[in-house]
Structure 1
């Protein structure tokens, strides 16, 4: 039998104050600290956690370079608390005026890598520029793939990451309450069909009196079972996962093995 490779992971569910990075970073830090006190080694925080989501009038001024203010903060938190941290911010592109919705992973060694959202939701197509790469990051406990929010509804991205070796796929999100039916089904489906863990960290709260976020952050095992789900604003959920379960599930239902790649690749 393979050696056990288990550890605790966390999803942070939080509300954000529009445009107020100081408040949002302090809130995130407090929630991350709670997760670490419960033993979490990998922590995922929501999409655009440092600025809030509906900042369209201020996207250019709030966007940051990488490395930059927030990614440096993430690296410092990772080092201080001895964790791997995933968060999502607006990234200022090298070309002036271009902004990306970008997920970042940091560890005790600093910035490990980034992923720019490739499928943009609705008016995000006006606000942001699409990414064009699906990287997988090799970490001490396994391989990490990143998607963002709306992309949970695109099985192609998760499947590509799984085929590249991802054991865990994370979804920092600002997913709307009106479409929670899609969130409920798609988060579980992405885990089951790829035999991987899914960590989906969503927003709560209401912005501009009309955008209501759905919460329901969750950690899902390779069988598509919800191990734990957040139930309140500014919540921390923890689950122990075992990478060996990825191996076992991919043997039990061998979707990746049986995929006829000639038809799709």
Structure 2
């Protein structure tokens, strides 16, 4: 699987310009690209409580529809974040779009301080099947809780996608945790962080790909950057040859199965 990490700078509350960057990147993706991963809330940036109602859109809103059209034209899959409106509530959401449509919509379950009062927390940790592989997603602060990635791994996730908006001075925290989440669940972990600055924050970059054994396969610096790498899923079996953390664990998550779409599953929390 060939994955493109799109570590880009964003503009808060400037959906049109953010969308233009996303569409241009999809259209110019290198030949052979299977999946493009963008940062947290890529399309709207980080709105405030006073701004969220004006910028949030539903899953079938015009902005995601435009991304969906680009995905079909390029025949790739895209993980992209946006501010979602659903039944009068607002969520920090990342979607996995493929040519056939929305494969997964994940609503951030653990809200960072600046999310509180702007977004509602999600309550489900879903996985989907894409090209024969189980895929789950988390958003930024979520990875600081080991139960989140374990909930996805317990449903068979082989690939963890993390859209990130991590800022100084916390870059090293997420670097360490990405290695831990990959290693303790024996899966591939791909994190794409925002670059640049906005809202008084300096974003840490540091997007990365981690192998199932916890080794860093690819890591970017602080500045805007695009990088392509290939995931060798034979490493999954190799990492589980002598032991399997998920299969051998004796403590189970206190979570309930929830309804999920075809080819997927979900655990409900809270």
Indicate whether the TM-score tops 0.5.
yes
Higher relative contact order (CA 8 A, sep 6+): 1
Q: Deviations over 1:147-203 (max 9, x none)?
A: 001111111010110110111011111011211121110011111111101110100
For 1:206 and 1:37, the matched residues in 2 are separated by 27
Q: CA deviation at 1:85?
A: 0.8
Q: Deviations over 1:53-102 (max 9, x none)?
A: 254431111000111122212211211111111111111021x2x21011
* Partner residue in 2 for 1:218: 208
* Partner residue in 1 for 2:73: 80
Superposed, which structure 2 residues align to 1:5-24 within 5 Å? 7-24=1-18
Query: 1:15, 1:205 within 8 Å by CA — same for their partners in 2?
Result: yes
Query: Structure 2 regions of 5+ residues with no counterpart?
Result: 256-270
Superposed, which structure 2 residues align to 1:121-132 within 5 Å? 121-132=112-123
Match status 1:248 vs 2:241: no
TM-score (norm 2): 0.89
Aligned residues: 255
TM-score (norm 1): 0.91
Higher helix share: 1
For 2:253 and 2:41, the matched residues in 1 are separated by 36
* Partner residue in 2 for 1:31: 25
For 1:92 and 1:262, the matched residues in 2 are separated by 33
Query: Structure 1 regions of 5+ residues with no counterpart?
Result: 1-6
